[in-house]
Chain A
Amino acid sequence: MLRVVSRRLIQLFITLLALMTLIFFWLRSLPGGPVDALLGERATPETRARLIKALGYDEPIWVQYGHFLKNVVTGNFGNSIRTGEPVMDVISRSFPATVELAVAAIIIAIGLGVPLGYLAARHRGRALDNATIILTLVGISIPIFFLGYLLKDWLTQSVHLFPPSGRISTGMDNTDVTGLFVLDGLLTREFDASADALWHLVLPALTLATIPLAIIIRITRASVLDVLDADYIRTAEAKGLRNPTVRKRHVLRNAMLPVVTIIGLQTGALLAGAVLTEKVYNWGGLGTLITDSISGSRDYPVLQALILLAAVVFIVVNLLVDLSYAIIDPRVRVR
C-alpha cells in the first residue's frame, strides 16, 4: 500500500510539473494579454511599458518561467492582476462554493444512479429498464444551460418553489466556518441558515448532477448485467442463498468495481468547477472565477493557480479511487 502511494506521489509531481509548464507557455501564447486588458486600446506606449515592467513581463520568458516555478514551490501564486489580491485569497473564496455544489451533485448522482442502474439491470428489457435507458440518453444529451434555465424558469418563476440564484438569501446572518454554507449552519447550530443554503443548493445541484447521474446509471446497469451472468452468481444460487445475500454480497460488490472508477472521474471533473451551471444560477464558484479571469483581464496568476488546483484535485480523487479499488478487489491488492 505504501509503495503504491509513494509511486503515485512521484507520478503526481511529474504530472504537475508538466502541466504547469504547459499552462505557463500556453497562456502566454494566446493573443492579447493582461496589459491590453487592463489598459485598453488607447494607452500610450509609456504607460504600457511601465505596466509591463511592473508586472515583470519585460524579462525573458525563461526567467519569468523560473520565477513562476520558484513561487509555486514556495506556495506563492502572486497577486491577481484584476483585483490585486493574493491569488490564494481569491481562490479560497470561490473554492468552498464549488465544493458544496460538486459534493451535492455527486451525492445525488450516486444516491440515485446506483439504485436505478441496479433496478434497470434486474428488470432488463422491461418497462422500467427501457424508461431508464431513455431518460439517461436525455440526461446525457440535453445541454446543461438549457436544462438549467428550463428548471430555473419553471421551478422559480412559474412555481415559486426554489430561490432563483445565489447560495444563500441576502440578509441571512450566517457565520462562515468552512465556507460550505450548509455545513456551517449545522456546525454553528444556525439551522435556518443551513436550510436556506440547502434550498438554494437544490436546483444547481440537480442541474449539475444530470450528466454524472446518467453515466452512473448506465455503467451500473451494464456492470450488474455482466455480473448477473457470471458463473459465481450461479454458484451462489446453487448454494440456495437468499436473494438479499446474493444481491448484496455477490452481485453489488463485484458490480461496483467499474462504477467506482466512473464516480472518481466524474467527481474530479465536478470539483474543477462547473462553468455553465454556475452561470445559470449565479453561483460564485471556481467556474465563475475561470470565466472572469479569462474574459475580463487574462488574469495569468489566477488562471495558473486554478488549473493547477483542478489538476491536483483530479489526481487526488483518482488516487482515492485506486485505493478504494484495492479495498474492494483483492486481486488489485497483491500487486
Chain B
Amino acid sequence: MPLLDVRDLSVVFQRDNKPFTAVDGVSFTVEPGQAVGLVGESGCGKSVTSLAIMGLLPRRGNKVTGEVLFDDTDLLKLRPQELRDRRGRDIGMIFQDPLSSLNPVIPLGLQVAEVLERHQGKKRQEALREARKLLDAVGIPDPTRRLKEFPHQLSGGMRQRALIAIALACKPRLLIADEPTTALDVTIQAQILTLLKELVEGSGTALIMITHDLGVVAGLCDTVNVLYAGKVVERAARHDLFGAPRHPYTHGLLQSVPRLDVERGGRLHQIRGSVNDNIPWSEGCAFAPRCDRVIDACIGETVPLEPAFRGGALRCTNPVPQEVPA
C-alpha cells in the first residue's frame, strides 16, 4: 500500500477574476521510503501540488478537489485541527528560500524546539537539548552556540540545514522538499542534496522532491513525474526517463541540460516559446504549440495519460521513438 496516494488532484484559483486551473487532475503515489520527483518549469503546478497536499493553500479563493490519501486517510477531508496534528509530525516540508522561510526575530533553537514541543509534548529545555542534537545531525557546526543565534547570523547553506532539521525533527514518514537548493550557491547545492539523500535513506523517510532541475532528480529520485501546465505528461523510473524519454517535453528538457560528454562549442538545445503559449488541455495537448513533433492528432481533444513502458505513464500522441535502454 502506498504511503501517499494522490488521486485526481485539482486546484483552481481565481486569477484576475477568472478561474485558473493550476493543478489539473494530477495523480501519483509515493511508497514508504521512496523518493519521487515532481519536475517541470515555473508555473507547471508543482509547488501548488505540494501546498495542496500539506493543506497550506489559503482557504479563500482556492478550490481543491480530488483525494490525497495518506495512510488511507484523505487529508483534504480532515478538519484544520486534525491536519495541524499531522503537519510537522507525519509530513515535514522544506522550502525554496531558506532566509525568508525562517522567522527573523526568533532564535534558531526555539524554531527547531517548538515543533518538538508541539508534537512530542517535550518541555522547553528538553526540546532545546534535542534541537541541539538535530542541528548537529544536519552538519551545523557549534550547535550549542547556534541555538541562541538568529537566521541572519547564519549562511545560506546553514539556514537550509536548519530548515531540514526542523522538517525532520519529528521523524516524519514523508518529507516534501520544494526546490530546496534553488536559492543556494552551486557548491552548497551539492552538499544539501547529499545531506538530504543521507538523511532520507538513513531514516526510511519517503521524499517528494519538487524541482525544475533534472540534475537534482538524477541524483535523488526513484520515480519521476514530469508536469506540464498542471498535468502529469510523463512518469517513469529514473533510469528509463533519463535513458529513453518518450514525451517530447521531457526529451527537450533533457536536451537542454549541459553535458560534459558532448563536444563543446555547440549550441544548447532550447524548447521554443514559453509556458504562455499553451493551449487549454480541453483543446488538445497543451504543449503542442511548442512541440517539435506536433501532428494533426495532437489538436482537438484532451490527450489521455496512458500506461507506458515498465509501469510508467505517458500523455502523448506522437512520442519520441523508444530506444530500449541497456
Instruction: Say yes or no for A53: interface residue by CB 8 A criterion.
Output: no
CB pair B101 A235 closer than 8 Å:
yes
Instruction: Say yes or no for A241: interface residue by CB 8 A criterion.
Output: yes
CB pair B103 A236 closer than 8 Å:
yes
CB pair A331 B106 closer than 8 Å:
no
CA distance A330 to B114 in the complex (A): 19
Instruction: Say yes or no for B46: interface residue by CB 8 A criterion.
Output: no
Interface hit among B10-18, B81-89, B277-285, B306-314: B81-89
Q: Which of B88, B97, B119 has the most chain A CB atoms inside 10 A of its CB?
A: B88
Residues 53 to 104 of chain B near chain A (Cβ within 8 Å)? 54, 56, 83-89, 92-93, 95, 97, 100-104
Instruction: Say yes or no for B197: interface residue by CB 8 A criterion.
Output: no
Instruction: Say yes or no for B239: interface residue by CB 8 A criterion.
Output: no
Nearest-Cβ distance from residue A168 to partner chain B, whole angstroms? 44
Instruction: Say yes or no for B122: interface residue by CB 8 A criterion.
Output: no
CA distance A234 to B93 in the complex (A): 10
CA distance A245 to B103 in the complex (A): 13
CB pair A250 B103 closer than 8 Å:
yes
Query: Given the known A-B contacts A230-B100, A232-B101, A331-B104, are A239 and B115 also in contact in the complex, defined by CB atoms under 8 Å?
Result: yes
Instruction: Say yes or no for B28: interface residue by CB 8 A criterion.
Output: no
Select one of A231, A245, A250 contacting B95, CB under 8 A.
Answer: A231
Chain B residues, CB < 8 A from A239? 87-88, 114-115, 118, 166
CB pair B163 A235 closer than 8 Å:
yes
Nearest-Cβ distance from residue A247 to partner chain B, whole angstroms? 13
Nearest-Cβ distance from residue B35 to partner chain A, whole angstroms? 19
Chain B residues, CB < 8 A from A237? 56, 87
Question: CB-nearest residue of chain B relative to A126?
Answer: B60
Nearest-Cβ distance from residue B144 to partner chain A, whole angstroms? 18
Instruction: Say yes or no for A328: interface residue by CB 8 A criterion.
Output: yes
CA distance A238 to B84 in the complex (A): 8
Chain B residues, CB < 8 A from A250? 103, 106
Instruction: Say yes or no for B242: interface residue by CB 8 A criterion.
Output: no
CB pair B100 A231 closer than 8 Å:
yes
Number of A-B contacts (CB under 8 A): 78
CB pair A231 B101 closer than 8 Å:
yes
Nearest-Cβ distance from residue B122 to partner chain A, whole angstroms? 14
Nearest-Cβ distance from residue B145 to partner chain A, whole angstroms? 15
Instruction: Say yes or no for A253: interface residue by CB 8 A criterion.
Output: yes
CB pair B150 A330 closer than 8 Å:
yes
Nearest-Cβ distance from residue B288 to partner chain A, whole angstroms? 35
Instruction: Say yes or no for A93: interface residue by CB 8 A criterion.
Output: no
CB pair A241 B118 closer than 8 Å:
yes
Query: Given the known A-B contacts A240-B115, A240-B118, A241-B115, are A235 and B102 also in contact in the complex, defined by CB atoms under 8 Å?
Result: yes
Select one of B83, B114, B152 contacting A331, CB under 8 A.
Answer: B152
Q: Residues of A within 8 Å of B, CB-based: how many?
A: 22
Nearest-Cβ distance from residue B173 to partner chain A, whole angstroms? 14
Chain B residues, CB < 8 A from A234? 56, 95, 101
Select one of B89, B104, B107 contacting A254, CB under 8 A.
Answer: B104
Instruction: Say yes or no for B326: interface residue by CB 8 A criterion.
Output: no
Instruction: Say yes or no for A3: interface residue by CB 8 A criterion.
Output: no
CA distance A159 to B119 in the complex (A): 56
CB pair A254 B101 closer than 8 Å:
no
CB pair A245 B152 closer than 8 Å:
no
Residues 278 to 335 of chain A near chain B (Cβ within 8 Å)? 328-331, 334
Question: CB-nearest residue of chain B relative to A230?
Answer: B100
Nearest-Cβ distance from residue A261 to partner chain B, whole angstroms? 15
Instruction: Say yes or no for A249: interface residue by CB 8 A criterion.
Output: yes
Chain A residues, CB < 8 A from B118? 239-242, 245
CA distance A331 to B102 in the complex (A): 13
CB pair A331 B150 closer than 8 Å:
yes
Chain B residues, CB < 8 A from A330? 104-105, 107, 150, 152
CA distance A306 to B306 in the complex (A): 84
Q: Which of A230, A236, A334 has the most chain B CB atoms inside 10 A of its CB?
A: A236
Nearest-Cβ distance from residue A165 to partner chain B, whole angstroms? 45
Nearest-Cβ distance from residue B128 to partner chain A, whole angstroms? 15
CA distance A249 to B107 in the complex (A): 11
Chain A residues, CB < 8 A from B86? 240
CB pair A238 B106 closer than 8 Å:
no
Chain B residues, CB < 8 A from A232? 100-104
Chain A residues, CB < 8 A from B114? 239, 241, 245, 249
Query: Given the known A-B contacts A231-B95, A235-B166, are A240 and B106 also in contact in the complex, defined by CB atoms under 8 Å?
Result: no
Chain B residues, CB < 8 A from A240? 83-89, 115, 118-119
Q: Which of B103, B107, B150, B166 has the most chain A CB atoms inside 10 A of its CB?
A: B103
Chain B residues, CB < 8 A from A249? 103, 106, 114
| Residue-wise interface mask of A (22-33) relative to B, using a CB-CB cutoff of 8 A (1 in contact, 0 not) | 000000000000
| Residue-wise interface mask of A (98-127) relative to B, using a CB-CB cutoff of 8 A (1 in contact, 0 not) | 000000000000000000000000000000
CB pair A253 B105 closer than 8 Å:
yes
Chain B residues, CB < 8 A from A230? 100
Chain A residues, CB < 8 A from B93? 238
Nearest-Cβ distance from residue A278 to partner chain B, whole angstroms? 39
CB pair B56 A238 closer than 8 Å:
yes
With A235-B102, A240-B86 known, 19 other A-B pairs at CB within 8 A are: A232-B104, A234-B56, A234-B95, A237-B56, A238-B87, A238-B93, A239-B87, A240-B85, A240-B87, A240-B119, A241-B88, A241-B114, A241-B115, A242-B118, A245-B114, A245-B118, A249-B114, A254-B105, A330-B107
The 5 closest A-B pairs by CB, nearest first: A240-B87, A240-B88, A239-B88, A231-B100, A330-B150
Return 14 A-B CB contacts under 8 Å, by A number.
A231-B97, A231-B101, A232-B100, A234-B56, A235-B163, A237-B87, A241-B114, A242-B84, A242-B118, A245-B114, A245-B118, A253-B105, A254-B105, A330-B107
